[in-house]
Amino acid sequence: MKLIHTSDWHIGRTLYGRKRYEEFESFLDWLAETIQQNEIDALLVAGDVFDTSAPSNRAQELYYRFLCRVAVSSCRHVVVVAGNHDSPSFINAPKELLKALDVHVIGSRTEAPEDEVLVLCNEQDAPELIVCAVPYLRDRDIRVAEAGESIEDKERKLIDGIRTHYAAVAALAEQKRKERGADIPIVAMGHLFTAGGQTVDGDGVRELYVGSLAHVTAGIFPACFNYVALGHLHVPQKVNGLETIRYSGSPLPMGFGEANQQKSVCQVEFHSSAASVQLIDVPVFQKLERVKGNWNGITNRILELSATDSQGWLEIIYDGIEVIGDLRERLELAISGTQMEILRIKNNRIIDRVLGQIHEEKTLDDLNVNDVFERCLAVHDVPEDQRPELLRAYQETVSSLYEDDVQAE
């Protein structure tokens, strides 16, 4: 039994205004070919299929076309769970139709835990894999808010809710395995943030719960899980060093901070219920390059890239001492005649810092919603002792907005 674990496709995501549909299409074509070449039996997608809860028509086309292609390949099963970026109702809408193609979608926590426990059968109708398909668990799914509770109370209830949910689906999975009298592997899926998880600056990974709470530990997953396929973090990584609890990471770099990161998907092979994991490197479909330095350093790097006929998208970070008023014009001239494109220019002029002036050209792309709110508090001279409580209240409001399913009605 062989499966591929992937997540965090973020179909439809843009990079500083540049659409990336060709990259997403190239990745999905590559993934379909990899599934066929490696004779993969099951594909698990651990959330954040789309970048927004209202994906464009083109994003939807890429998704459904891929599913149809995989359905007629060697892959017998596809399981997709929603992430925090996905609309639960949108993911669930074609549920019955997709089931006819052996594609199982779980958009949100179900009323009956057994609906998240899938027994997948081979061509002889014998069970070969049990999947606990747990989607992103929203705050309201696992915690009842009470007046006057502290941040610590919220954190405890969130983690207890996540632990209780995984314990329930694990118990059902073990029961189903016992009923069938076979050593069937049990795989769990999830979209969450584990303690110690590695992120990269600018990757767009947002905290899932208010105040950066509920970073769960590996111990939250019951021992009966032979493999845990996680999504949410974009850096491929093991959880607590464990081979069989992993984030596959995003298949495309979500920002320039991930430009030099090797992206991959996880191929998991079961011998009885023992899992072995191999990473399959994802090709680079669009080169991203962060070029940082003074003027000479930047132009030298551009010349080096030009000599290789690079078609890369560039982020330029100028940190030279010289004040260059026409930096953009000079840079555009430097790349003229090449196939490179500058998506972003950041000017960190040291002389301005010496003078105590701030000219870092911060844009909304550089700030998250908490940064913006904190700047508002500072601008309006809100006393320091009042800021923590106001920030927590703001975070709760933003969190509830993120979790609203705008596609539900």
Tally of domains within the chain: 2
For the segment 326-346, the average pLDDT, to the nearest whole number, is 93
Residue 232 shares a structural domain with residue 324: no
Neighbours of 137 (CB within 10 A): 23
Residue 47 shares a structural domain with residue 166: yes
Q: Which residue has the higher pLDDT, 20 or 209?
A: 20
Say how far apart CA 24 and CA 15 lie, in whole Å.
13
Residue 300 shares a structural domain with residue 277: no
Residue 115 within any structural domain of the chain: yes
Dump the DSSP string for 310-340: ---EEEEEE--SS--TTHHHHHHHHHTTSS-
- C-alpha torsion angle, residues 163, 164, 165, 169 (rounded to 10): 100
Q: Would you state the pLDDT for residue 212?
A: 45
CA angle 166, 204, 356 (to 5 degrees): 135
In the sheet that holds 186-191, the strands lie side by side as: 117-121, 127-133, 186-191, 227-231, 242-247, 237-239
pLDDT digits (tens, 9 = 90+) for 152-162: 777 778 888 89
Say how far apart CA 210 and CA 218 lie, in whole Å.
21
Q: Which residue has the higher pLDDT, 159 or 58?
A: 58
| Domain edge (last residue) among 281, 303, 330 | 281
Kind of pairing, strands 103-106 and 77-81?
A: parallel
Q: Are 43 and 73 in contact (CB under 8 A)?
A: no
Residue keyed to tokens 């219920």:
273
Q: Which residue has the higher pLDDT, 212 or 293?
A: 293
Closest CA to 284 of 60, 10, 15, 30: 30
Q: Would you state the pLDDT for residue 138?
A: 86
What percent of the chain has a predicted confidence (pLDDT) above 70?
85
Q: Would you state the pLDDT for residue 350?
A: 45
CATH number, domain containing residue 319: 3.30.160.720
Say how far apart CA 19 and CA 47 lie, in whole Å.
21
Residue 409 within any structural domain of the chain: no
CATH number, domain containing residue 144: 3.60.21.10
Q: Which residue has the higher pLDDT, 263 or 195?
A: 263
pLDDT digits (tens, 9 = 90+) for 249-277: 999 999 998 888 999 999 999 998 899 99
Closest CA to 210 of 233, 235, 190, 193: 193
HSE toward the beta carbon, residue 43, CA cutoff 13 A: 30
What percent of the chain has a predicted confidence (pLDDT) above 90?
63
Closest CA to 206 of 246, 234, 236, 238: 234
Confidence of residue 363 (pLDDT cuts 50, 70, 90): low
Q: Kindly provide the b/e burial profile for residues 311-346, where b requires at least 16 CB atoms within 10 angstroms of the residue's own CB.
A: ebbbbbebebeeeeeebeeebeebbeebebebbbeb
CA 70 to chain CA centroid, nearest Å: 22
> Model-level pTM?
0.84
| Domain edge (last residue) among 281, 313, 344 | 281
Residue 53 shares a structural domain with residue 199: yes
Say how far apart CA 386 and CA 105 lie, in whole Å.
44
For the segment 79-91, the average pLDDT, to the nearest whole number, is 95
Q: Which residue has the higher pLDDT, 57 or 383?
A: 57
**How far are the Cα atoms of 52, 89, 96, 392 from residue 56, in angstroms, in the given order?**
9, 15, 22, 33
Residue 133 shares a structural domain with residue 216: yes
For the segment 68-85, the average pLDDT, to the nearest whole number, is 94
Residue 243 shares a structural domain with residue 356: no
Range of weakest confidence among 5-19, 43-57, 107-121, 337-351: 337-351
Residue 65 shares a structural domain with residue 103: yes
Residue 277 shares a structural domain with residue 313: no
Q: Are 82 and 46 in contact (CB under 8 A)?
A: no
Q: Which residue has the higher pLDDT, 168 or 203?
A: 168
For residue 377, give its domain range.
Answer: 289-403
Kind of pairing, strands 127-133 and 117-121?
A: antiparallel
Q: Which residue has the higher pLDDT, 249 or 202?
A: 249
| Domain edge (last residue) among 281, 316, 338 | 281
Q: Would you state the pLDDT for residue 169?
A: 96
